[in-house]
Amino acid sequence: MIMEECFDCRLCQTRIKYVYGEGNINSKIMFIGEAPGADENISGRPFIGQAGKLLRKILKEINFNNFYITNIVKCRPPENRDPHQDEFDACKHYLMHEINTINPQIIIILGGIAAKYLLKINKSVLKMRKEVYDIDYIKTYVTYHPAAALYNPSYLKPIKEDLKRIINERTINII
């Protein structure tokens, strides 16, 4: 798979770099967001902008650094708009390749847009974060995207609580 040569949707016309996931390929936990931002588009690395820095800070605070992180869409949408359905669809096979390669035991979806696309449900993150889902027999959880906490600091506490609960309760037998 040569992602850098992907021309499956209009996002290829404005991307600087294709942004594939990164992290520990042997990790049992995979984080999935919706799409790269401006910093990621320049560097080609996921979650290195302000939202990514906040997420990594939270993970460091709860003493967790064994993860793999990616986005559904691999190219930045113009003006940081939400990805369109056809863009999600065009990138889905890349995401499924990542999931199959990493073979996580837990997926944590970051944000409502990614959750609605992956889980095919239309609920608020507030409701989704209280349930356990399944993606190809993988336990899947939802929490707020760290970017939400940058704009509304009241989301920071629920993100920390969710990650702490999911990682601490679910990883005893997998790390």
Of all residues in the chain, the percent with pLDDT exceeding 90 is: 78
| Tokens describing residue 24 | 């520990």
Q: pLDDT tens digits, residue range 48-90? A: 999 999 999 999 999 998 999 999 999 889 888 999 999 999 9
Q: For residue 31, what is the enclosing H or E element? A: strand 29-33
What are the domain boundaries of the chain?
7-167
Q: What is the longest distance spanned by two Cα atoms in the chain? A: 44
- The strand pairing partners of 138, in sequence order, are 135
Q: Which fold has domain 7-167?
A: Uracil-DNA Glycosylase, subunit E (3.40.470)
How high is the pLDDT of residue 175? 45
How high is the pLDDT of residue 147? 95
How high is the pLDDT of residue 20? 92
**Closest by alpha carbon to 124, among 75, 163, 158?**
158
172 vs 90, higher pLDDT: 90
DSSP 71: E
Q: For residue 69, what is the enclosing H or E element? A: strand 68-71
